[in-house]
Amino acid sequence: MDIADWRRQIDELDRKLVDLLSQRAHAAHEIGKLKRVAGMPIYEPDRESTVFANVRKVNPGPLPDVDLQRIYERIMDVMRQIQKEEIAPDAAEDLGHTELDSEVTD
């Protein structure tokens, strides 16, 4: 394959990732609704540890576990923000972006 072929493959993978992330965001939104009704906190460190362990366990490489976890930490930040908007929309607006937004350059 040449560079154009690899880029087409990356474009297709990106489309799939966007679809999967959208599905994950929908699930996080629904969980936020359930947490609101149950009076549960948004941040659950034990659950996040479980998610990190699960993705490391199924990671076939070549992406190192530490980098995969960093990606998932960011995903979890965004998903928590979705839940904050569901549970306390006015407070979520005041919070604005997550703490990592200033570091995102692309």
In tens, the pLDDT along 25-75 reads 999 999 999 999 999 999 999 999 999 999 999 999 999 999 999 999 999
Rounded CA gap, 103 and 106, in Å?
9
CA nearest to 66, candidates 75, 55, 76: 55
**Confidence band for 87, pLDDT divided at 50, 70 and 90:** confident
C-alpha 48/C-alpha 76 separation (Å) is: 8
Share of the chain above pLDDT 90, in %: 75
pTM for the model: 0.78
Local confidence band at 88 (pLDDT 50, 70, 90 cut-offs):
confident
Q: How far is CA 83 from the centre of its chain?
A: 12
Residue 25 burial (CB count, 10 A): 15
Domains of the chain, by residue range, sit at: 3-98
**CATH H superfamily, domain 3-98:** Chorismate mutase (1.20.59.10)
